Amino acid sequence: MPDIAALFYSLPDETYKKEVIVLAAGRASWSYDHQEEIIFTFAHDEVDYAVLARFLDRARRVRAIVSASKYYQTHLPRRALVAASSVYAALARTLASRPLLPSLQVLDYTRSARMDFDIFDVLDVLISPKLKHFGVESHGHMWRRSVSPPEDWSSPGDASPLLQGKLQGEAQFCNMLGKLRDRAQSLQTFEVVVKPSSPSIMSAITTTLCDFRQFVVLSVNAWSFEPVDSATPAFFAYCAQLLCLRELYILLDDPPTPHDWRLQVSSQLPPNCTSFPSLRQFHPNVKDLALITGLLPLIHSTELETLSVCACGDIRRDQIRPFFAGIASLPAREHLQ
């Protein structure tokens, strides 16, 4: 299901309230084409456990929560059901440390532009010990700084106005990741899109991930107005040692000295390490080809099928030949697409 709001229909009408939000044409959230949102809230701040009996019984059967934009692959419904952040908070108080969805294996959550930042403080009520797939998205218009840029500011490269303030939602997002680390030890897929990001958020992401060893899919896409190390040498070395990792989507900000960055990665790998032994898809996002060319020799997988490099900066002519030479030396060069 796309949202736990659907569970409200198992409750008596007097226990909850609905508010219909009509979206103005052309102003819908980036992830929705629907025209209306129905926001569900509990009628009272405190919810009696006995009243929730049918709600919780149905919740125990839910195995996947997938955002509407992914749940409906082609055409989105005209109306979307959305549980307000206060619903998650009330359920968290009622259930204490018990998960709302004990059978949940897939959680793919996109935060609506109209959702409070506090949702990240209480989203952990959905985290189940059986969770294998965790995905969360927060995009540019969903994040605001406490200090707004001047009216004439338009260039993402001019970061100074944004550096004056703290990214709203930052503490809540980091708190959510800490709870994920504690409660979902069976996690195999982690996908996060945070735009803009911050050093604190990226640190929380890498700290959380490094406590897991069974990842099959890793996708970290975090863009910021300010310099952020999307992947440190230590984090890249961690990824290289994941025995089951099949897919890696990662943003690599080119450092001033790519050769030194590559040496730092190598220094944190065990001697004679077979790095990325099972990798099948590698999708790095880079500024130019200097860093990725130096990292290609670390990909030892003989199963690599897809290498998709997105370079968002200027590519110098002298970088092209070494890059293709690196591809030609890959153990899986015959299988690449």
**DSSP per position, 25-87:** TT-S-TT---SEEEEEEESSSS--TTTTHHHHHHHTT--EEE-HHHHSSS---SEEEEE-HHH
Percent of the chain at pLDDT exceeding 70? 80
Q: Check residue 8 and report its DSSP letter.
A: G
Residue range 32-39: mean pLDDT, rounded:
70
Rounded to two decimals, what is the model's pTM? 0.83
Q: Which residue has the higher pLDDT, 71 or 121?
A: 121
State the pLDDT at residue 308.
93
Judge contact between 305 and 332, C-beta under 8 A: yes
State the pLDDT at residue 246.
96
State the pLDDT at residue 10.
93
Judge contact between 266 and 325, C-beta under 8 A: no
Q: Give the chain's radius of gyration (CA, Å).
A: 22
pLDDT per residue over 159-202, tens digit each? 433 444 456 678 888 888 888 988 898 999 999 887 767 778 88
Residue 307 host element (H or E) = strand 306-307
| Residue 148 CB partners (closer than 8 Å, separation 6+) | 161, 165
pLDDT per residue over 286-319, tens digit each? 888 989 999 999 999 999 999 999 888 888 999 9
pLDDT-based confidence at residue 103 (cuts at 50, 70, 90) = very high
3-state SS of the chain: helix, strand, coil percent to 5? 35, 20, 45
Contacts made by residues 56-60, CB under 8 angstroms, sequence distance 24+? 56/100, 57/10, 58/7, 58/10, 59/4, 59/7, 59/100, 59/101, 60/101, 60/102, 60/103
Give the angle subtended at the CA of 202 by the CAs of 198 and 204, to the nearest 5°: 115
Half-sphere CA count of 233, side-chain side, radius 13 A: 16
Q: What are phi and psi of 193, to 5 degrees?
A: -125, 115
State the pLDDT at residue 254.
66
State the pLDDT at residue 28.
44
